[in-house]
Amino acid sequence: MQTRHGEGSGTNESKLPTNDANQLQPAGIRIAAMKAGFTIREATEADVPLIFWFVRELARYEKLSDEVSATEELLRRNLFSERKGAEVLLAFEGKEPVGFALFFHNFSTFVGKPGLYLEDLYVRPEFRGRGYGKALMARLARIALERDCGRFEWWVLNWNTPSLKFYESLGAVPMSEWTVQRMTGEALRALAAQAES
């Protein structure tokens, strides 16, 4: 399962990183057993190669590989520095990485509370249909409640029927009255240049 993504065929997957840190559960990290042999844990800096691998696999499925400008160093800096931009959960079946979720907080002025925004959810194709995507979503919902978030939101590509059905089965409601706006590159620089010093 993926947020902006969907059920892929799993073909042309690149090789998983073999760093042992990606397969071991570090001391001091809270592990939650969701099923026999299935665990979800918070990512650590040692997991950056695995996180980057998941990001590239997700982009490959979405046919957006050419849009990935992230690097391991950018992920390391923005996920594990003093001012973290996002958090990551990793899912394992035994020691085998099966999926990840990357999320961060936004804020709703109407609700007056922070929200939890899911940027990416991905489960490797060969592990889909076993409840792992639902387990990751359930963990994120629990985090949202523990942190007193007023909302749990994400985007889904409109062609991604399997994921749309998956999220609907969890009780999610599409926000069809809204459209996503984005500014990048030259448009972003041009607008920033108009700001008063």
> What pLDDT is attached to residue 11?
43
Give CA–CA dist 195/91, Å, rounded: 43
Give CA–CA dist 124/98, Å, rounded: 6
- In sign, the C-alpha dihedral spanning 43, 85, 164, 146 is positive
Give CA–CA dist 99/139, Å, rounded: 13
Low-confidence ranges of the chain (pLDDT < 70): 1-13, 18-35
Query: What is the residue type of 26?
Result: P
Residue 116: which H helix or E strand, with range? strand 113-123
| Closest to 44 in 3D by CA, of 33, 34, 31, 55 | 31
What distance lies between CA 18 and its chain's CA centroid? 21
The H-assigned helical ranges of 2-160 are 48-61, 72-80, 132-146
| Closest to 99 in 3D by CA, of 183, 189, 147, 34 | 34
Active site residue 122: no
> What pLDDT is attached to residue 150?
97
Using one digit for the tens of pLDDT, what is the confidence trace for 101-123?
A: 999 999 999 999 999 999 999 99
> What pLDDT is attached to residue 119?
98
> What pLDDT is attached to residue 16?
81
Of the residues 117, 122, 132, 167, only one is catalytic, namely 167
Tell me the two tokens of residue 137.
């979503």
Helix (H, G, I), strand (E, B) or coil at 40: strand
Q: Domains in the chain, ordered, with CATH?
A: 20-193 (3.40.630.30)
Write down the pTM of the prediction: 0.83
> What pLDDT is attached to residue 27?
34
How far from 78 is each of 75, 81, 86, CA to CA, in Å?
5, 6, 7
